[in-house]
A and B are shown apart, each in its own frame.
Chain A
Amino acid sequence: MGRRIAIIGGIRTPYVKAGTLFSELSAVDLGRLVVSELLARQAVDPHDIHSVVIGNVAQPMNAVNVARVISLFSGIPEHVPAFTVHRNCASGLQAITSAAQLIATGKAEVVVAAGVESMSNIPFFISKELQDAITRFRYGRTWKAKLKPLFGLRPRHFVPKVGLMLGLNDPTCGLNMGQTAELLAREFKISRTAQDEFALMSHQKAGSARSEGRFNDEIMPVLPPPRFNDAVTFDNGVRLNQSMEDLSRLKPAFDRKYGTVTPGNSSQITDGAAAVLMTSEEAALRRGLEPIGFIKTHAFAGLSPKRMGLGPAYSTSLVLEHSGIDFSEIGLIEMNEAFAAQIIANEMIFSSDQLSEKFLGRKALGRINREILNVNGGAIAMGHPVGSSGTRLVLTLLIEMQKRSVDLGLATLCIGGGQGAAMILERK
């Protein structure tokens, strides 16, 4: 890469459980809210923006290339190009890395990168048989040709398919995301209790971050339609009075008889958006913008789709190798909590030479200190709006690095389909 990439600042909406307060806000609305707010607070003239990159997983059919739609509705001028990126759960991080590449290669100077997801608005689909029948009815030349396929339909053909569920399923390995977590729990022998304990910790950390006002610089208030009555100012998935007892009562969701992965120790289905403003270090200096941090480097790794949850170990190994940084130098870590089981499996690999050798073909990276891991809680507590989480991890990490004067931080995610993403950020 050429120029050093600076992140000037960022903002996110509260993360809100799907089907609750934000269900009337589309991905476009969420994106528009967050990008407008970013522009207002960063006092950037929209004419000075050179490109917009937005990550989004469930791309809405009524707003294809959702990045362009969001960009225009946010008041960014028509001459500024925009594109949407998709790397499943890391789409929000992909937006930042794609923006970084534009800046590094001198193709753009000031770029808005964002991640948006409205999981409330992922549509249901009709069956292929019903779709064919409707198509033939519309285009059939005779009444016979029009009606014949209709008579072939059976009741089961009218059952809609839930888009969200289709999306969480990996067609290459036949497992859905929860089942990949169950696989890790079995193979790494991770108990239900260990998972629930981790989940409890996530809620507790997120709860105290909220009560201590540590999200104040990160979360914008949102007045949601249709009533616009109360501003949503915090992540509503966080359970302040969560207990082990409550967690232990939940039924496993993916292996109903013998499983350990429950809705309580998995990330939540959530709506939300996050955005950051990026430029080069040199341009920031010239334009008088004060960065909250810089990107050191990043890496994406591929692995077995069945064990996609191990993505952080694979990609972190790679990114440390690239940068020549030792894991012990990392002062703060944001690892996306897709599932507690998956986080714990990564922790085991990080600290075990034997597991590292088996999966990564190297010596252990070093033990993960839970004191510096997800210090404000993670997706188990605040939720995982898939396309947005990557952007949030970087934003949360940089704000917290500032507050704690930590120089090096790591943001990493597992990615459905068997990938991992890792990015190292610097404060100075």
Chain B
Amino acid sequence: MPDAFTIDISDGIAVIRFDLPGEKVNKLTTGVVAELEQLIGRLESESGIDGAVIVSGKEDNFIAGADISEIETIVSPAEGARLSEQGQGVLERLEQLPFPVVAAINGACLGGGLELALACNYRLATDSPKTVLGLPETSLGIIPGFGGTQRLPRLVGIKEALRMITTGAKVYPKKAWRIGLVNDVAAKERLMEAAGRFISSHGETGKKTKKTSWKSRGLVALLFESNKFGRNFLFDKARQAVRRKVGDHYPAPFAAIDAIEDGFKHGLKEGFASEAHLLGEMAVTDTSKNLIKVFRLRERFSHVEKAPAGYISSVAVIGAGAMGGAIAALVAENGMKVRLVDMSTKALGKALRAVYSTVEKKKNKGIYSSTDAAWIPSRISCDTMMRGLKRTDVVIEAVVESMDVKRSVLADLAAATREDTIIVSNTSSLSISEMAGAVPDAWRVAGMHFFNPVDRMQLVEVVRGEKTSDLTVRIVTALTKRLGKMPIVVKDSPGFLVNRLLLPYLNEAARLLEDGVGVEPVDEAMLEFGMPMGAFILLDVVGLDIASHVCENLQQGFGERMRPSTILAAMRDEGRLGKKSGKGFYRYDKKGKRQSDSGLKKVLLPHVRDNLKLEEQSIIDRLILPMINEAALALEEAVVEGPEAVDAAMIFGAGFPAFTGGLLRYADSLGIPRVVKDLEKLTELHGERFKPSGLLIEMAQNAKSFYSL
């Protein structure tokens, strides 16, 4: 027994304190669940108890959920189902206790933690910003297994429960109260008093309770949720929404919907059984195992050393274009002062307008309070000259992507800032070391490669130049983290990591067109593989001008194997720049809606040299295998630390499908010998650019994989 619970009974009220020894957060491990069962047994036989309150002994955490490593080790569906049934049983006994039980929630109450709270008579939440409630299981490829799929829809309504469970969305106290998930919200110091009131008034007649009251949920809820037809409609809708959002690659949200539906079709008992059964099924899928690994990747790369005390209180951004403006907004939203400099007041104005409208939107959505909305823009000051930068800790330049311009901006910055101000260049393709030559003390220059759109993409490549100091890297990674992004440190080499892997992939897609394969089949194959969008759609989004520019850079750096397809330049020269110019590989109407374009044929025709008919898998291999090969080369050159960095970067920076566990996990799952063999075959058919790297060949010979290096 882990000794996680202490119980203290006074004046008829039992206070159950959950404090898992040796852990920062409370988790529902098998041991904890067994101990809880014993404790419930004791309470069942105890007399003179009027009520119980469950509290956490942790500072900012109620219960973080089940123990992920236990889920990871489940090997058979039966084993998973058994774990689920065990938890369901204990929580059912909790629910059946002869006196009211209150969950007094402060801090995160997630997964199994919320399921435990759902089995209590009342839930009270503190108004702390750390207090969040949710069932995030589907984002780990499983479903709630301790009765959550059954109790949640009966408490907050089917529609809201479907949303919470299928998206894993977290709910904050105010909203939790509005939807009836918690009975009341109180200050932390008043939580026990509130719990006492709910216990003492328990059972009184005429007491207002939000639970199951149609009145509070509205007429629409009554219309849809009180009858079979309405419910079927909701379930169908939910399935469509999931399919639209994540496609068919993630089975867990569908399984969760099934479990909820079974509960309404066949009754609660069947519902619980279905939940346990489906949890078992889901827990053994590769998807779940991989999503758990990705979860760990995120944890690992989100943990960074803090900047030295006093550092990063103020930041400056040079260049108020789309990227510079977005970075400045990000800085202000994350609580730091930012000075935005651009020669053009038009650009500055546009950037400010964007900040105000984003803040306004988030305020209307309830993400920001009106106080936040007042603070965020107040942190931004603007200037048309490099003035007032002497107090700045970090300057990020985001001017046009040209070595000459960037060098001259950096030289000016060196003079306009303190000698210990960190100077960062936001670049996707230029060499940081070369740029740093323009600054007398190159140790303070680093790169930060943000991905578009800045507010949505989590990754930032932190580029270490030849002379960049460790302190500089530490400050830039800490800043990245403070901006809510995931930093991955990369060596200063052409394309850094993500573009070095992504652009050849896009280039190879263009070469498939040269071989006579069509645009749509390639895009369909990549969607089938799990990419968030087709290769040509992505090219249109990136822009053909930028793509061919980066490809040319890469060719300069790596030679023949990166030679751009002639199609890229041809498209660019035709003015088919992609989404921004209204047409690229597709045509876009004024609203940005995509259609196929009959005019494309004419542009492509001079470049088509063959008439290949490829199977879906062959298309996937031809695009993904070189990416694996390039990643192996990058690892050989120590561009990043190891395979984890590659996988994290590709998932969080390039949208590589998470259910695969990442590019190199995917390679391992194929088997390195197969990868090498297929690359050799492709080399024979299409040329040297597919030639497997030394590392891959060595791994194949020694029966190694990326994750067993």
Contact = CB atoms under 8 A, between A and B. Distances in A.
Nearest to A232: B345
Interface of A: 32-33, 36-37, 39-41, 43-45, 73-75, 220-221, 223, 225-231
Contacts of B82: none
Contacts of A226: 356
Contact of A75 (B337, B350, B353, B382): B337
A39 B391 contact: yes
Chain A at the B interface: mostly helix, strand, loop or mixed? loop
A45 B392 CA distance: 10
Chain B at the A interface: mostly helix, strand, loop or mixed? mixed
A40 B349 contact: no
A230 B375 CA distance: 23
B444 interface: no
A74 B375 CA distance: 10
A97 to B, nearest CB: 27
Nearest to A231: B345
B388 A231 contact: no
Interface in B345-388: 345-346, 348-350, 352-353, 356, 374-375, 378-379, 381-384, 387-388
B337 A221 contact: no
B579 interface: no
Nearest to A39: B391
Contact of B349 (A33, A37, A43, A223): A223
Contacts of B350: 228
A220 B388 CA distance: 12
B339 interface: yes
B668 to A, nearest CB: 49
Given A43-B391, A225-B356, A228-B352, A75 B379 contact: yes
B24 interface: no
Contacts of B353: 227-228
19 contacts: A32-B378, A36-B378, A37-B388, A39-B391, A40-B339, A40-B388, A40-B389, A41-B387, A43-B390, A43-B391, A73-B374, A74-B378, A75-B337, A220-B383, A221-B345, A228-B350, A228-B352, A228-B353, A231-B349
Interface of B: 314, 337, 339, 345-346, 348-350, 352-353, 356, 374-375, 378-379, 381-384, 387-391
B352 A223 contact: yes
Contacts of B390: 43
A39 B387 CA distance: 11
A229 B346 contact: yes
B388 A43 contact: yes
A92 to B, nearest CB: 21
A221 B356 contact: no
A227 B387 contact: no
Given A221-B383, A230-B345, A45 B356 contact: no
B691 to A, nearest CB: 54
A110 B345 CA distance: 32
B684 to A, nearest CB: 59
Contacts of B346: 229-230
Nearest to B314: A75
A227 B349 contact: yes
Given A45-B391, A73-B375, A227-B353, A40 B348 contact: no
Contacts of B345: 221, 223, 230-231
Nearest to B350: A228
A46 to B, nearest CB: 8
Contacts of A227: 349, 353
Nearest to A223: B349
Contacts of A231: 345, 348-349, 384
Nearest to A37: B381
A39 B391 CA distance: 9
A41 B388 contact: yes
A73 B378 contact: yes
A271 to B, nearest CB: 18
Contacts of B356: 225-226, 228
Contacts of A32: 378
